[in-house]
Structure 1
Amino acid sequence: MVTVRNVTRRFDSGAGQVFALRGVSFEVRRGELTALKGRSGSGKTTLLNLVGGLDRPTSGEIELDGTGLTRLDEEGRLALRRERIGFVFQSFGLIPILSAAENVGVPMRLRRVPVREREERARTLLALVGLADHAQQRPGELSGGQQQRVAIARALANEPSLIIADEPTGQLDSETGRSVMELLRAVVRSEGVTALVATHDPALMELADRVVELADGRIVEAAPGASAPGAA
Structure 2
Amino acid sequence: MSTTLEPMVEVRGLTRTYGAGPVSVHALREVSFEVAPGELVAVVGRSGSGKTTLLNLLGGLDRPDAGTVRVDGTEVTGLDDQGLSALRRDSISFVFQTFGLIPALTAAENVGVPLRLRRTPVAEREQRVALLLDLVGLREHALQRPAELSGGQQQRVGIARALAGSPRLLLADEPTGQLDAETGLSVMALLRAVVESEGVTAVVATHDPVLMSLADRVLTIADGRVAG
TM-score after normalising by structure 2: 0.94
Distance 2:183 2:214 in 1: 14
| Runs of at least 5 residues in structure 2 that lack an aligned partner in the other structure | 1-7
Q: Which amino acid aligns with 1:118?
A: R
Partner of 2:3: none
State which drifts further: 130-139 or 13-22.
Answer: 13-22
Q: For this pair of structures, how many residues does the alignment match?
A: 221
* Residue 179 of structure 2 is aligned to residue 172 of structure 1: yes
* Residue 119 of structure 2 is aligned to residue 112 of structure 1: yes
Q: Residue 213 of structure 1 aligns to a residue in which SS?
A: strand
| Runs of at least 5 residues in structure 1 that lack an aligned partner in the other structure | 223-232
Distance 1:37 1:154 in 2: 24
Distance 2:20 2:113 in 1: 36
Partner of 1:140: 147
Shift of residue 62, structure 1, vs aligned partner: 0.6
Q: Residue 107 of structure 1 aligns to a residue in which SS?
A: helix
State which drifts further: 126-135 or 110-119.
Answer: 110-119
Residue 89 (structure 2) aligned to one of 62, 82, 90: 82
Partner of 2:68: 61
Distance 1:202 1:124 in 2: 30
| CA deviations over 1:119-169 (Å, ceiling 9, x no partner) | 111111100111111100111111111111100000001000010000000
* Contact persistence 1:164–1:196 (CA under 8 A): yes
* Residue 100 of structure 2 is aligned to residue 93 of structure 1: yes
Distance 1:107 1:94 in 2: 12
Shift of residue 107, structure 1, vs aligned partner: 0.8
Distance 1:111 1:53 in 2: 19
| Structure 1 consecutive aligned stretches of length 4 or more whose deviation exceeds 2 Å | 12-18
* Residue 138 of structure 2 is aligned to residue 131 of structure 1: yes
* Contact persistence 1:3–1:62 (CA under 8 A): yes
State which drifts further: 118-127 or 190-199.
Answer: 118-127
TM-score after normalising by structure 1: 0.93
Distance 1:15 1:128 in 2: 50
Q: Which amino acid aligns with 2:28?
A: L
Residue 48 (structure 1) aligned to one of 51, 55, 77: 55
Q: Residue 119 of structure 1 aligns to a residue in which SS?
A: helix
Partner of 2:225: 218
* Residue 221 of structure 2 is aligned to residue 207 of structure 1: no
Distance 2:21 2:89 in 1: 35
Distance 1:169 1:191 in 2: 20
Shift of residue 197, structure 1, vs aligned partner: 0.2
Partner of 1:9: 16
Aligned-pair Cα RMSD in Å: 1.1
Shift of residue 15, structure 1, vs aligned partner: 4.8
Shift of residue 65, structure 1, vs aligned partner: 1.1
Partner of 1:226: none
| CA deviations over 1:36-75 (Å, ceiling 9, x no partner) | 0000110000000000111111100110011111111111
Distance 1:145 1:106 in 2: 20
Residue 158 (structure 2) aligned to one of 141, 151, 155: 151
